[in-house]
Amino acid sequence: MAESSTDRGPLLATLGVSLNPAVLEHALTHRSFAYENGGIPHNERLEFLGDSVLGLSVTQKLYRENPDLPEGALAKMRASVVSTVALAEIAQTIGLGGYLRLGRGEELTGGREKASILADTMEALIGAVYLDQGLDTASALVLRLVEPLLADPARFGAAMDPKTSLQEAAAAHHAPAPVYTMESSGPDHDRVFVATVTVGELVTAVGQGSSKKHAEMAAALTAWTELSARAS
């Protein structure tokens, strides 16, 4: 069973920010850890705050850099960049899972890889930076984190609807339609779903989530990314 790293230095270096240690610990504390340790504060309020900062920062950038796009197109682009799948991918890229403070139950059921937990913690970190360093620093962090998505227009559609994007990519490769299989574990109130998607003999990818839909979306986005890299 993986354990949380107690050295936060590498995470802060990756983020490129300085942060009050107590605020950082608050942002990394999942409710499962809080409940098992006397009801200490957890990160859901910071997540609520960070969601707003994230949305505002991305909205401003898209608005300023796409003066000819209508509201509907801007809304779709924003939704793809701030989606659970996209945020979880960003979190995985910076190794956020290794720093989470999780309760034993979440540890045993792979909480460090759950897209929902990773995405929520990513938002909580943004909220923490906003509280500690202000809007300018928080917005700059958001734009650094989402830049890889913004720099690749194809990923807008893929992150928004990865299953459709994967199906289209499979057709472009003259491959069979994607086939999904599903496994689950954990108690009924906290199920963990693991989806596997196979596209002929081209690619097999795995995704995990708190619902069948999120697990399939995560698997599809990974498979789409692999097929796209192969095509390029």
113 is in an annotated binding site: no
Q: How far apart are CA 138 and CA 198, in angstroms?
A: 39
Q: How many CA atoms lie within 13 A of 66 on its CB side?
A: 18
Q: Confirm whether 51 is a catalytic residue.
A: yes
Tokens of 2: 């993986």
47 is in an annotated binding site: yes
From 106, 113, 123, 216, active-site residue = 123
From 51, 89, 106, 216, active-site residue = 51
Q: Confirm whether 188 is a catalytic residue.
A: no
Sequence-distant (6+) residues with CB within 8 A of 152 are: none
User: What sections of the chain are H helices per DSSP?
Assistant: 9-15, 21-28, 31-36, 44-65, 71-81, 84-93, 104-108, 115-133, 135-150, 154-160, 162-172, 212-231
Sequence-distant (6+) residues with CB within 8 A of 40 are: 29, 33, 34
Quickly count: other Cβ atoms within 10 Å of residue 29's Cβ. Answer: 24
Annotated binding site for Mg(2+): 47, 120, 123
Q: Catalytic residues, which ones?
A: 51, 123
Annotated binding site: 47, 120, 123
